């Protein structure tokens, strides 16, 4: 199993992602034994990379929002963070539907 860490992000977000990834990995192993894989390992790797990038973007924008004093700028950066969180959740839902 791959050892992946999303260090520095809030625990519920990380645990949600880790649970999904573990489920997808176990499912992948089981399905490869049955020759009936829905998500092959190459695509799972792409999804893993995308999840990491979305989590990183979310973490960065959250950090920036905490440091910005201008209300309009903070609102914009918070919206960017929410956008990346929605992308992460959408991808999470996609993987969960193939579980």
Kindly state the tokens that stand for 41: 């390992």
Higher pLDDT, 82 or 36: 82
Residue 27, in any domain of the structure: yes
Residue 1, in any domain of the structure: no
Residue 3, in any domain of the structure: no
**Residues, the chain:** 99
DSSP notation for 6-52: -TTS-HHHHHHHHHHHHHHHHHHHHHHHTT--SS-HHHHHHHHHHHH
Average pLDDT score over the chain: 79
pLDDT at position 49 over 50: yes
Q: How many domains does one find in the chain?
A: 1
Which residue segment(s) compose the domain that 62 sits in? 11-97
pLDDT at position 66 over 70: yes
Q: Which pLDDT tens digit goes with each residue over 7-48?
A: 455 567 766 767 776 777 666 665 555 444 478 888 888 998
């Amino acid at each position: 199993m791959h050892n992946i860490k999303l260090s520095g992000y809030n625990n519920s977000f990380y645990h949600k992602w880790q649970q999904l990834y573990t489920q997808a990995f176990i499912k992948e192993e089981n399905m490869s034994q049955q020759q009936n894989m829905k998500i092959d390992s190459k695509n799972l790797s792409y999804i893993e990379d995308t999840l990491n990038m979305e989590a990183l973007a979310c973490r960065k924008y959250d950090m920036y929002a905490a440091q910005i004093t201008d209300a309009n700028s903070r609102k914009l950066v918070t919206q960017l963070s929410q956008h990346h969180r929605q992308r992460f959740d959408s991808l999470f839902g996609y993987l969960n539907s193939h579980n």
